[in-house]
Each structure stands twice: as structure tokens, then as C-alpha cells.
Amino acid sequence: MKKSDFTILVADDDPDYLYQTVFNLNKAGYKTITAESQAEAEAIIERFRPDLAIFDLMMESDDSGFILCYKIRKKYPDVPVILATAVSRETGMSFSVDTEREKSWIRADRYLEKGIRAEQLDQEIMKLLKI
């Protein structure tokens, strides 16, 4: 399969970050669908199965990304999920999905700090999609 065969759901309430991420994903060859809120992402998940999802951690609430990870895993257990956030830089709190215990409650396959270069994000996505 090639990149253009995959659709990535990107949910983020920061319009600049959303635009830049989608621009880079489209440039890399992926199809994208966007949500500007947790509620919009939940509505998309209800009617559409993406091949991969990238969620911002903090949207309407401080745990929007965690909630979205839980909901997509419940409906589509095999869809890879990337949680992207600037929370560590902004609050000093940090999370990871390095252990099974962390993965069990975060329910994401990757936890990435915002500011990741487009090439790095593409590499992570290719690993998760096994391209």
C-alpha cells in the first residue's frame, strides 16, 4: 500500500497547528480529515474509521486527547493513535507510552511533543501503518 491509500484523522483546537500538520501530511501523500474539537472528533469517529489518528491532548478539557484515545480504541481497537501535545513544555507535566502500564491508561501508540519535525512525524506514521 502507498501513503495515498491512508486517511489520517487530525484533531486539534489550535488552527495554526492543525493547518501545518495537515499541510505536511498532505504533502507527504496522506489523505486527511480534520476536527477542531473533541466533540467534532467524536462525531467523525462515530461515522468514519480512519487509518490512523493524531489527537491533541488538551482541547475543550485538559484530558480531551485521553478521552478520544479511549473512544477510538473502543470502536476501532486496531487504529493506531498518536497523542501530540505541548503540555510538558507548558506545564512541566510529562507522560509517555513506554510501558504497558502507561499504554493501558493512555491508550495511544505514540506520545509526541508538538514541534516534531514533519519528517519525524512521517517516520512515526509509517512505522505505525507498516508502510
Task: Report the predicted TM-score, pTM, of the whole model to 2 decimal places.
Answer: 0.85
Boundaries of every domain in the chain: 3-129
Q: Give the fold, CATH level 3, of 3-129.
A: Rossmann fold (3.40.50)
Q: How many whole angstroms separate alpha carbon 17 and alpha carbon 72?
A: 22
Q: How many whole angstroms separate alpha carbon 107 and alpha carbon 28?
A: 26
Q: In 3D, which of 30, 38, 49, 40 has the Cα closest to residue 83?
A: 38
Tens digits of residue pLDDT in 66-105: 899 999 999 999 999 999 887 544 444 555 545 565 545 4
Q: How many whole angstroms separate alpha carbon 34 and alpha carbon 99?
A: 29
Tens digits of residue pLDDT in 24-56: 999 999 999 999 999 999 999 999 999 999 999
Rounded (10°) CA dihedral 118, 26, 81, 1: -110
